[in-house]
Amino acid sequence: MRLTIPVLLLAAAAILALPEIGAAQQKPTAAGSAAVPALTGSALAGQKLAFSRKKGNCLACHTMRGSDVPSNVGPELVNLKALFPHRKDLVAIVTNEQARNPQTVMPPFGKNLILSAKEIQEVVDFLYTL
């Protein structure tokens, strides 16, 4: 009998705390999406090309910010300015990754004309926002 009241109080406290736990879990997501910069101009055009199934379809293989599709055929595309400070290197990868890695499964978007030279520039503008 002496234990019943504290146990009940603990249970009540746990139930009361539940909404708090839910709220705390949602906070990082809300803060994270607020930090994503709004895209404009060619970077926005590049994002549309990258996410389009008929064009880049990059999401089939890469996880990219701005989409909630997780893919791990290729590496997550993030921090690309630090990884590829020279724009021509990124253009070369999107144009024809087979030149760098003959075994790659990544389509040569420029070589097979899935993306025009202008579209590749737009995709690279978008990649530099990641």
Q: DSSP characters for 80-114? A: HHHH--SHHHHHHHHHHGGGT-TT--S--TTTTTS
The verdict on 45 binding ligand HEC (CB under 6 A) reads no
The verdict on 61 binding ligand HEC (CB under 6 A) reads yes
Nearer to ligand HEC, 22 or 102 (CB): 102
The verdict on 101 binding ligand HEC (CB under 6 A) reads yes
User: How far apart (Å, rounded) are the C-alpha atoms in residues 121 and 42?
Assistant: 8
The verdict on 119 binding ligand HEC (CB under 6 A) reads no
The verdict on 70 binding ligand HEC (CB under 6 A) reads no
| Residues sharing a CB contact under 8 Å with residue 56, sequence separation 6 or more, in sequence order | 49, 50, 109, 114, 115, 123
- Binding part of the chain for ligand HEC, among 4-12, 17-25, 30-38, 52-60 by CB under 6 A, reads 52-60
Find the binder of ligand HEC among 39, 66, 74, 130 (CB under 6 A): 74
